[in-house]
Amino acid sequence: MSNAAKDRVRLWLRLLKVVRGLEQDLRDILRREHNTTLPRFDVMSALSRHPEGLKMSQLSGVLRVSNGNVTGIADRLSEEGLVERIAVPGDRRAMLLRLTPEGSAQFARQAQAHEAWINEKLRGISAEDARAMADRLQAFAAQTEEKEHSNAQ
């Protein structure tokens, strides 16, 4: 294996370690402080970015998970009055999911706590370095998606 390949494997392993550790801490904090789960937080986050609502298939696409994964979460959020289902005119089978005012308020509290927690965890990284790292990762993700798209055709 070349030095470049070893460096890339080392980078991959460090990225995994950091992300898995942060994710586990986030799961614990969401459960302990907000009585919620990361998948519920992710669904509410996606819906908060689409106040007009999303069809279940759109929500699954945004989250990159199967409809089955989202359905159970959406059902529970709906039962709790945090998400409403709205019929799509002209499509009897489709439903839009949208945060209720209570859901929006609850998510706003969770998002504020999430931002503060992430800010604290990553406080050793300057704003400039954070932007540069995020830009590099975004460029890498776009390049990877472009390759996958061209291979699929």
Percent share of the chain, pLDDT over 90: 76
pLDDT digits (tens, 9 = 90+) for 117-151: 999 999 999 999 999 999 999 999 899 887 776 77
Find how far residue 85's CA is from the centre of its chain.
21
Residue 115 confidence (pLDDT): 96
**60 and 80 inside one domain:** yes
Domain total for the chain?
2
Boundaries of domain holding 146: 125-153
Q: What is the average pLDDT value for the chain, to the nearest integer?
A: 92
Residue 89 confidence (pLDDT): 83
Residue type, position 44, single letter: M
Residue whose structure tokens are 């699929």:
152
**109 and 138 inside one domain:** no
Residue whose structure tokens are 């289902």:
85
Which residues lie across from 95 on neighbouring strands? 87
SS in 3 state form for 1-46? CCHHHHHHHHHHHHHHHHHHHHHHHHHHHHHHHHCCCHHHHHHHHH
**94 and 151 inside one domain:** no
Which DSSP symbol is given to 85?
Answer: E
CATH of the domain at 91: 1.10.10.10
DSSP 87-128: EETTEEEEEEEEE-HHHHHHHHHHHHHHHHHHHHHTTTS-HH
In a domain, 19, yes or no: no
In a domain, 80, yes or no: yes
